[in-house]
């Protein structure tokens, strides 16, 4: 089962100049809590922006070319096949970005861990697809008094119907 974990601003911006546009320690903690002891999947650009293999997780990097291979880190070159092969996997697999990876994984995701950041980034260059949250079931909401402020949400999608694939 695929879950998406992402933080975006009021305009769905997730990145600027190859980096996260904010540093919210509460959000890093939320990410760590949710993903520890699970498998995380990220595009090569996101991996390079983090700059290291995150501990206590199995990391899958997506790249068209062979990249890092290690004990807890593996590179896949055919992301579409990976999504198809694992869509009925009982294990929760976390899709961690960036823009290209979210876009491709969106039709497969059943659970969404969304941090909505109460800001508008100027000149952001990477975006999450503009989803309509009304088409998802809200399972959790927590306002956070961070700088900038944000809200943690968990949304669920019971069944992935063909017409819901883009959640628009």
Ligand X SMILES: NC(=O)c1ccc[n+]([C@@H]2O[C@H](COP(=O)([O-])OP(=O)(O)OC[C@H]3O[C@@H](n4cnc5c(N)ncnc54)[C@H](OP(=O)(O)O)[C@@H]3O)[C@@H](O)[C@H]2O)c1
Which residue ranges make up the site for ligand X (CB under 6 A)? 6-7, 14-15, 18-20, 42-46, 49, 62-65, 77, 79-80, 96-101, 104, 126
DSSP state of 162: G
Query: Which of 9, 12, 16 has its CA nearest to residue 127?
Result: 12
CB closer to ligand X, 102 vs 136: 102
CB closer to ligand X, 121 vs 159: 121
- Whether the CB-CB separation of 27 and 146 falls below 8 Å is answered with yes
**DSSP H or E stretch at residue 137:** strand 137-144
Residue 144: count of CB within 10 angstroms of its CB: 18
CB closer to ligand X, 71 vs 80: 80
Find the shortest distance in angstroms from Cβ 60 to ligand X.
Answer: 11
CB closer to ligand X, 70 vs 90: 70
Find the shortest distance in angstroms from Cβ 37 to ligand X.
Answer: 20
Find the shortest distance in angstroms from Cβ 84 to ligand X.
Answer: 12
- Whether the CB-CB separation of 37 and 54 falls below 8 Å is answered with no
Residues 78, 71: Cα–Cα separation, whole Å? 20
Find the shortest distance in angstroms from Cβ 30 to ligand X.
Answer: 11
CA 29 to chain centre: 15
């Amino acid at each position: 089962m695929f879950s998406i974990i992402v933080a975006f601003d009021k305009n769905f911006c997730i990145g600027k100049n190859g980096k996260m546009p904010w540093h919210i320690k509460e959000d890093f903690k939320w990410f760590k809590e949710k993903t520890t002891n699970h498998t995380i999947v990220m595009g090569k650009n996101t991996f390079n922006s983090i700059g290291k293999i995150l501990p206590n997780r199995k990391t899958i990097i997506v790249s068209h070319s062979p990249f890092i291979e290690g004990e807890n880190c593996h590179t896949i070159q055919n992301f579409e096949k990976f999504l198809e092969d694992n869509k009925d996997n009982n294990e929760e697999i976390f899709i961690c970005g960036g823009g290209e990876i979210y876009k491709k994984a969106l039709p497969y995701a059943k659970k969404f861990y969304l941090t909505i950041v109460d800001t508008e980034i100027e000149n952001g260059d990477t975006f999450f697809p503009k989803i309509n949250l009304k088409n998802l079931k809200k399972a959790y909401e927590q306002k956070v008094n961070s700088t900038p402020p944000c809200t943690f949400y968990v949304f669920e999608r019971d069944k992935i119907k063909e017409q819901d694939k883009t959640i628009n």
